[in-house]
Amino acid sequence: MTSTPPPDILFYDIASGPPIHPFAPNPWKTRYALNFKRAPFTTHWVELSQVTSTRKRLGLPPVRFFADGEPFYTLPAIQDLSSNSTTVVGDSFDIALYLDQKYPSAPLLLRHPPGLYAAFNAHIDSVFPGAAPLCSQSFPFDPATEAQCKAEFCRRAGVQSYEELVVRGEARRPVLDAFKVKSGEAARCCRFEEGPFLGGKEPDYADFVVGGWLMFLSLGVPEWEEIRTWHGGLWGRLHDALEPYRGTW
């Protein structure tokens, strides 16, 4: 009887409520990258309420901070179980750099200078959070920890009730329209030449940067079918083209 060799990489992703499925944008960037590199990995699901303690246990400092300087602990992270020192990497962009180093014979994620991708990643991450209020009413909480997580969101936002963060009814349209304008700025940075990907017929890390946010919108924003038609259908075409790199979980 043969046994299956253990995976090289343990991938820490944020769990949704049941049924578990990936939803967070930055972990999706890494999930796309792992599948693109054909890296042998397994997912370790982390409840939203356990993200901070998990990151601290792994010895990973925060890579994001709130406006007041408070550390914001988040995922993804990977552990390379095949290395002698069990390498741990805790930022989606740094993970992409690491995967290109670890699997140099596979197609490269970063085919241009890393600084270009870092700048593009920062720009996209400054634009797409504008849609986050649109998923407030359908955020995939785990019922077992929903109250705890909502209380933490309220603390961070400085509000008394989670209901204050929920955008409903006619109030959604101004948020949606503002995000359409803002995402149009990002769309001008995304050139489809031969397509269907941003740089041509094959994807690279820029596609996964945008694709991670598009997955988040497709799973959590009721107006996704409208969003995918914006800017000449750019978001919808890219989202559909990335389907082969989503894998299973």
Q: Is residue 72 located within the same domain as residue 118? A: no
Q: How confident is the model at residue 2 (pLDDT cuts 50, 70, 90)?
A: very low
Q: Is residue 219 within 8 Å of 23, Cβ to Cβ?
A: yes
Q: Is residue 162 part of a domain?
A: yes
Where is the domain boundary, 72, 102, 132? 102
pLDDT at 177 over 70: yes
Q: List the Cα angle 174/176/181 in 5-degree steps.
A: 95
Q: pLDDT value at position 189?
A: 78
Largest CA distance in the chain: 61
Cα–Cα distance measured from residue 24 to residue 174, given in angstroms and rounded to the nearest whole number: 24
pLDDT tens readout for residues 146-162: 999 999 888 888 899 99
Q: Is residue 91 located within the same domain as residue 170? A: no
Q: Is residue 85 located within the same domain as residue 200? A: no
pLDDT at 207 over 50: yes
Cα–Cα distance measured from residue 89 to residue 87, given in angstroms and rounded to the nearest whole number: 7
Q: Is residue 123 located within the same domain as residue 239? A: yes
Lowest-pLDDT range, 100-109, 125-134, 191-200, 218-227?
A: 191-200
Instruction: Please give the residue that has the higher pLDDT: either 2 or 184.
Output: 184
Q: How confident is the model at residue 200 (pLDDT cuts 50, 70, 90)?
A: confident
Q: Is residue 109 part of a domain?
A: no
CATH classification at residue 234: 1.20.1050.10
Looking at every residue in the chain, the average pLDDT score rounds to 92
Cα–Cα distance measured from residue 27 to residue 24, given in angstroms and rounded to the nearest whole number: 6
Q: Is residue 42 located within the same domain as residue 141? A: no
Residues 63-73 have a mean pLDDT of 87
Collapsed DSSP state (helix, strand, coil) of residue 29: helix
Q: Is residue 107 part of a domain?
A: no
Residues 63-68 have a mean pLDDT of 85
Cα–Cα distance measured from residue 76 to residue 121, given in angstroms and rounded to the nearest whole number: 15
Q: Which two tokens stand for residue 180?
A: 């359409």
Q: Domains in the chain: how many in total? A: 2
In sequence order, what are the residues at sequence separation of 6 or more whose Cβ sits closer than 8 angstroms to the Cβ of residue 177? none
Q: What is the model's pTM?
A: 0.94
Q: How confident is the model at residue 1 (pLDDT cuts 50, 70, 90)?
A: very low
Q: Is residue 212 located within the same domain as residue 148? A: yes
Cα–Cα distance measured from residue 92 to residue 98, given in angstroms and rounded to the nearest whole number: 10
Q: Is residue 136 part of a domain?
A: yes
Cα–Cα distance measured from residue 21 to residue 2, given in angstroms and rounded to the nearest whole number: 30
pLDDT at 28 over 50: yes
Q: Is residue 208 located within the same domain as residue 161? A: yes
Residues 158-179 have a mean pLDDT of 94
Q: Is residue 141 located within the same domain as residue 223? A: yes
Where is the domain boundary, 82, 102, 122? 102
Q: Is residue 82 located within the same domain as residue 138? A: no
Q: pLDDT value at position 6?
A: 64
Residue 207: C-alpha distances to residues 11, 177, 198, 212, 234 (Å): 20, 24, 6, 8, 12
pLDDT at 194 over 80: no
Host domain of residue 37: 9-102
Q: What are the start-end ranges of the H helices in 37-145?
A: 51-57, 92-102, 114-127
Backbone angles phi, psi at 13, to 5 degrees: -125, 155
CATH classification at residue 66: 3.40.30.10
Q: pLDDT value at position 195?
A: 76
pLDDT tens readout for residues 74-115: 999 999 998 666 899 999 999 999 999 999 999 999 999 999
Q: Is residue 87 located within the same domain as residue 131? A: no
